[in-house]
């Protein structure tokens, strides 16, 4: 098991194993004079092994015990190993000494408010996790016994580990439509993007071509336009799909894209400009807005994305659009606000399920 490998590595570095009479907790200590550093592993496959009170009491007891034995200062690093990262957050505090090991993906999660290292053990842990990833590609997670399996399917392939299905499908469709549109651009069609379904308000208002509110978001004006959008979608969309679930993610993506199209169309109608709009950026801004809402609901952190990162991304993206020509800022702002609103309606933070007590 991965915990055993990390414990063995720490023992080789001079740590000492400390016997703990609580199942699922492994404690190691490193003393230097009257100073002591403690590393406590919480083995939480399902995320339901400890209640918030138990978690806090264990920490308090560790500090108390070692302080009473004359150690000063007492430094404590908590490392929670789980297959269910979201469940852990229901009892995990906001302390700077708390890390999570995601046993599904084999990665160490450290949030921006937490210490980036603890007496040099971070590099050791990440090397062990990387080694385990390479030797475990396509297999089960890093837990060994049936009782330690997660509550949701864990036998994911290497593909589904790193690429969520719906988001990857959207990226592939965008690429496919781009290749088809590029092929048609060399044909005798007068305006291939218009014929392919670009957003154009006179065609919708007078021609009742409402399908353009969907089709426009799969069209792109060049390889750079496509690449920029798809890179963002691969990163943010993957996190969003895992956080909200497949169907809610699809509703947020397409709902934001349609509302972004309506915002763009309305802006051009009011200003009486016959602008042709294309691109997935309105829908992507919706995904970013939804992710910002979810990160905020989860106390400023969601997997490896923080509130600060999301806000900076939105600011730089909107600034780039406002200071550039040929960018549909109405669609971007409309999509962003739509994503926030849709997430507020659809997303519910996962509640902690209390374990049964005998």
The four Cα atoms 291, 295, 296, 298 give a dihedral, to 10 degrees, of: 140
Residue 218 DSSP class: G
Is 225 labeled as catalytic in the residue annotation? no
Please pick, among 29, 220, 256, 332, the residue that the annotation labels catalytic: 332
How do 107-109 and 98-102 pair as beta strands? antiparallel
- Quick count: other Cβ atoms within 10 Å of Cβ 341? 18
332 is catalytic: yes
What SS3 string covers 85-116?
Answer: HHHHCCCCCCCCCEEEEECCCCEEECCCCCCC
Q: What is the 3-state secondary structure (H, E, C) of 253-313?
A: HHHHHHHHHHHHHHHHHHCCCCCCECCCHHHHHHHHHHHHHHHHHCCCEECCEEHHHHHHH
> What tokens were used for 18?
């400390």
Q: 74-82 and 98-102: which strand pairing? A: parallel
CA distances 179 to 182, 206, 219, 326, Å, are 5, 30, 10, 22
- 275 in Cβ contact with 330 (< 8 Å): no
Cβ contacts of residue 132 below 8 Å, gap of 6+? Answer: 2, 5, 106, 142
- Who's near 358: CB < 8 A, 6+ residues apart? none
Phi first, then psi, for residue 305 (nearest 5°) are: -115, 135
Contact between 279 and 219 under an 8 Å Cβ cutoff? The reply is yes
User: Catalytic one among 281, 306, 317, 324?
Assistant: 281
Catalytic site positions: 281, 332
């Amino acid at each position: 098991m991965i915990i055993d490998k990390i414990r063995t590595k720490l023992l080789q570095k001079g740590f000492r194993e400390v016997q703990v009479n609580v199942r699922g907790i492994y404690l190691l200590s490193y003393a230097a004079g009257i100073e002591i550093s403690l590393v406590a592993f919480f083995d939480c496959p399902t995320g339901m092994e400890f209640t918030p009170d138990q978690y806090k009491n264990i920490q308090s007891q560790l500090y108390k015990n070692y302080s009473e034995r004359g150690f000063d200062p007492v430094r404590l690093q908590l490392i929670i190993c789980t297959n269910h990262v979201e469940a852990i957050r229901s009892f995990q505090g906001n302390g700077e000494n708390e890390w999570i090991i995601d046993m599904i993906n084999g990665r160490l999660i450290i949030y921006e408010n937490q210490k980036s290292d603890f007496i040099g053990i971070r590099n050791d842990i990440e090397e062990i996790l990387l080694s385990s990833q390479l030797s475990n590609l396509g297999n089960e997670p890093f837990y060994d016994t049936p009782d330690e399996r997660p509550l949701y399917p864990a036998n994911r392939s290497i593909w589904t580990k790193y690429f969520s299905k719906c988001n990857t499908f959207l990226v592939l469709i965008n690429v496919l439509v781009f290749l088809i549109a590029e092929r048609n651009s060399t044909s005798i069609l007068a305006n291939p993007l218009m014929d392919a379904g670009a957003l154009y308000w006179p065609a919708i208002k007078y021609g009742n071509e409402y399908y353009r509110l969907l089709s426009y978001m799969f069209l792109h004006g060049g390889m750079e336009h496509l690449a920029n959008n798809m890179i963002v979608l691969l990163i943010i969309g993957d996190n969003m799909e895992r956080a909200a679930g497949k169907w809610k993610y699809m509703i947020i993506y397409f709902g934001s894209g349609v509302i972004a199209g309506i915002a763009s169309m309305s802006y051009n109608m009011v200003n009486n400009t016959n602008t042709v709009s294309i691109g997935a950026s309105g829908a992507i801004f919706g995904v970013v807005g939804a992710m910002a809402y979810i990160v905020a609901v989860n106390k400023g952190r969601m997997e490896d994305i923080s509130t600060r990162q999301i806000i900076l991304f939105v600011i730089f993206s909107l600034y780039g659009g406002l200071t550039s020509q040929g960018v549909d800022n109405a669609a971007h702002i409309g999509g962003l606000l739509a994503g926030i609103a849709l997430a507020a309606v659809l997303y519910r933070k996962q509640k902690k399920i209390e374990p049964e007590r005998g």
